[in-house]
């Protein structure tokens, strides 16, 4: 019988790639969808006709219990979150509710549907629902060491990072308290043509496409010196799946092991279309963060050795893939008068 997976965050970048990957592996896949008419449903459902949806919201415990009960999943991937770091300074309480308490609510939903009693210490799960939590390298924040590995202490620099640290620890706690197969994937930045336009790589690729097509001339950025370990989202969802296929649950750091600056990202993207980035990029101090994460780079030893996972797309190929996709995207929007914009990536 086909295995069943439930994904929260189905309308996001990772949700779409993970659903495609799991469908390709023969799973039946349900995506948790919030809102009565989520405008982002169209873009994910037109990619995958086999995908099913179930209503629910990470803010609403009862909806999560109903969703888990209805789907009866073998695996739950909690990718839902408010994922844009700057928003977490503006709406810290909301981000904490969704990104921290939301994790607890999904774990509780699994515990309730599985019939695991709260007094059952280190017991066997009545129904073995495996759980993946989308933890983040933002938890390392002001990094104690570089590269960062599974044992590096957390020093989050934003309410987002603090909330993710709670989600990571509560996942580990449910593993230790109830014997759940529950893991946190500590993923470093991963991007794609489906990345939200608010994140720096996509902001650059969209900006480059619009400048190349004569629709704008300048691109405002913040801290050009920030260093990140950027990979391709399509590679990283394979690691998520592998983490739930092991004999024993464990947390893994997932990245490429290479770091690049925001300046490098801009240079590669502008070079790709024959433009000089310095002619177009200007610094907007308003885009510099109250507390910046300066350096993130993964120590990938464990994920490579134990999961036999390795990324397939390097940084330059990732940036040029995104620019090429946005050149097509922006040209199509121009041709169809922006009609594609609402639902498309
Ligand atoms: P994304 O594109 O921003 O997608 C976020 C998803 O969360 C969307 O589907 C959104 O659905 C959903 N969501 C937001 N609030 C919700 C709520 N109250 N209830 C249910 N769903 C809700 O993020 P992503 O890049 O795919 O990242 C996936 C996960 O990995 C996130 O948890 C993120 O924090 C984490 N992460 C990402 C990276 C990265 O570099 N991409 C790295 C480390 C960790 P709506 O359509 O309803 O808004
Ligand atoms: O693309 P970003 O907004 O991603 P950030 O903050 O690293 O967070 C992403 O990765 C995390 C994993 O480490 C995820 F957990 C999180 O959900 C998200 O997916 O910014 C990257 C860097 C930052 O240092 C930022 O200050 O780029 C710098 N930057 C410089 N100019 C900019 C800009 N970032 C944005 N978004 N916009 C700019 O104009």
DSSP conformation letters of 38-100: -TTHHHHHTT-TT-EEEE--TT-HHHHHHHHHHH--SEEEE--S---TTHHHHSHHHHHIIII
Asked whether the bond before 316 is cis by omega within 30 degrees of 0, the reply is no
The average pLDDT across 98-123 equals 84
Nearest CA to ligand 1 atom 28: 79
Nearest CA to ligand 1 atom 34: 83
The answer to whether residues 326 and 250 belong to one domain is: no
User: Could you report how far apart the first and last alpha carbons of the chain are, in Å?
Assistant: 33
Residue in the structure block whose two tokens are 């994937």: 185
Domain region containing 203: 196-228+259-296+313-335
Helices (H), 72-134: 87-90, 92-96, 102-114
Domain membership of residue 26 (yes or no) is yes
Domain membership of residue 32 (yes or no) is yes
Please report, for the domain that includes residue 209, its CATH number: 3.90.25.10
10 within ligand 2 shell (Cβ under 6 A): no
Nearest to 150 by CA among 258, 77, 250, 242: 250
Mutation probe of ligand 2 site: the residue of 80, 85, 142 with most atoms within 8 A of C-beta: 85
Q: Which atom of ligand 2 is nearest to the CA of 202?
A: 1
Per-residue confidence at 124, pLDDT binned at 50, 70, 90?
A: very low
pLDDT score at 127? 66
302 within ligand 2 shell (Cβ under 6 A): no
Q: Active-site residue 160, yes or no?
A: yes
Per-residue confidence at 338, pLDDT binned at 50, 70, 90?
A: low
Domain membership of residue 305 (yes or no) is no
Nearest to 185 by CA among 254, 270, 88, 256: 254
The answer to whether residues 151 and 279 belong to one domain is: no
Has residue 182 got a pLDDT over 50?
Answer: yes
Please report, for the domain that includes residue 18, its CATH number: 3.40.50.720
Q: Convert the pLDDT of each residue in 193-249 to its tens digit.
A: 999 999 999 999 999 999 999 999 999 999 999 999 999 999 999 999 999 999 999
Has residue 123 got a pLDDT over 60?
Answer: no
Nearest CA to ligand 2 atom 11: 189
Has residue 6 got a pLDDT over 90?
Answer: yes
Nearest CA to ligand 1 atom 22: 80
Nearest to 223 by CA among 269, 296, 283: 283
The answer to whether residues 133 and 85 belong to one domain is: yes
pLDDT score at 117? 62
Mutation probe of ligand 2 site: the residue of 224, 260, 262 with most atoms within 8 A of C-beta: 262
How far is it, in rounded angstroms, from Cα 76 to Cα 166?
18
pTM above 0.75, yes or no: yes
Output the average pLDDT for the chain. Answer: 95
Q: What angle do CA 183, 185, 189 make, to 5 degrees?
A: 165
With a pLDDT cut of 90, the percent of the chain lying above it is 91
Q: Convert the pLDDT of each residue in 22-45 to its tens digit.
A: 999 999 999 999 999 999 999 999
The answer to whether residues 151 and 166 belong to one domain is: yes
pLDDT score at 335? 86
The average pLDDT across 130-136 equals 99
Domain membership of residue 345 (yes or no) is no
The answer to whether residues 245 and 105 belong to one domain is: yes
Domain tally, the chain: 2
The answer to whether residues 224 and 235 belong to one domain is: no
Has residue 112 got a pLDDT over 70?
Answer: yes
Instruction: Enter the tokens of residue 165.
Output: 């640290």
253 within ligand 2 shell (Cβ under 6 A): no
The answer to whether residues 223 and 234 belong to one domain is: no
The answer to whether residues 12 and 122 belong to one domain is: yes
Per-residue confidence at 343, pLDDT binned at 50, 70, 90?
A: low
The answer to whether residues 158 and 222 belong to one domain is: no
Domain membership of residue 107 (yes or no) is yes
Instruction: Enter the tokens of residue 264.
Output: 């490098």
Q: Convert the pLDDT of each residue in 250-304 to its tens digit.
A: 999 999 999 999 999 999 999 999 999 999 999 999 999 999 999 999 999 999 9
Domain membership of residue 145 (yes or no) is yes
How far is it, in rounded angstroms, from Cα 293 to Cα 263?
15
Which stretch of DSSP H or E encloses residue 252? strand 252-254
Has residue 122 got a pLDDT over 60?
Answer: no
The answer to whether residues 270 and 321 belong to one domain is: yes
The answer to whether residues 237 and 324 belong to one domain is: no
Q: 154 C-alpha to center of ligand 1: Å?
A: 21
Which stretch of DSSP H or E encloses residue 260? strand 260-261
Q: Which atom of ligand 2 is nearest to the CA of 223?
A: 30
Domain membership of residue 308 (yes or no) is no
Has residue 120 got a pLDDT over 70?
Answer: no
The answer to whether residues 19 and 168 belong to one domain is: yes
Instruction: Enter the tokens of residue 119.
Output: 């007094």
Q: What angle do CA 76, 77, 81 make, to 5 degrees?
A: 130
Domain membership of residue 302 (yes or no) is no
């Amino acid at each position: 019988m086909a295995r069943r997976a439930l994904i929260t965050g189905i309308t996001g970048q990772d949700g779409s790639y993970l659903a495609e990957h799991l469908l390709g592996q023969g799973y039946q896949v349900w995506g948790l969808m919030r809102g009565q008419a989520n405008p982002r449903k169209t873009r994910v459902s037109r990619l995958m006709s086999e995908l099913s949806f179930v209503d629910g919201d990470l803010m609403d415990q009862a909806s999560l219990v109903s969703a888990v009960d209805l789907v009866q999943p073998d695996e739950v991937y909690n990718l839902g979150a408010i994922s844009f770091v700057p928003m977490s300074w503006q709406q810290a309480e909301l981000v904490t509710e969704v990104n921290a308490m939301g994790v607890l609510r999904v774990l509780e939903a699994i515990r309730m549907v599985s019939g695991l009693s709260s007094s059952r210490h280190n017991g066997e799960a009545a129904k073995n629902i495996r759980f993946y939590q989308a933890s983040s390298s933002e938890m390392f924040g002001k990094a104690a060491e570089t590269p960062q590995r599974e044992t590096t202490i957390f020093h989050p620099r934003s309410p987002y990072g603090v909330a993710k640290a709670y989600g990571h620890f509560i996942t580990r706690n449910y593993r230790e308290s109830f014997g759940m197969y529950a893991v946190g994937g500590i993923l470093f930045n991963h991007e794609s043509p489906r990345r939200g336009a608010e994140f720096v790589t996509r902001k650059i690729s969209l900006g480059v496409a619009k400048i190349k097509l004569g629709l704008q001339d300048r691109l405002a950025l913040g801290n050009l010196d920030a260093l990140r370990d950027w990979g391709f989202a399509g590679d990283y969802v394979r690691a998520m799946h592998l983490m739930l296929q092991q004999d024993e649950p464990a947390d893994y750091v997932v990245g490429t092991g290479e770091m690049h600056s925001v300046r490098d990202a801009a240079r590669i993207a502008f070079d790709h279309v024959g433009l000089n980035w310095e002619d177009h990029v200007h610094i907007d101090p308003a885009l510099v963060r109250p507390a910046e994460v300066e350096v993130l780079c993964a120590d990938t030893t464990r994920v490579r050795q134990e999961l036999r996972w390795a990324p397939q797309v390097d940084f330059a190929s990732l940036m040029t893939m995104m620019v090429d996709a946005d050149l097509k995207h922006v040209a199509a929007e121009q041709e169809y008068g922006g009609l594609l914009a609402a639902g498309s990536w």
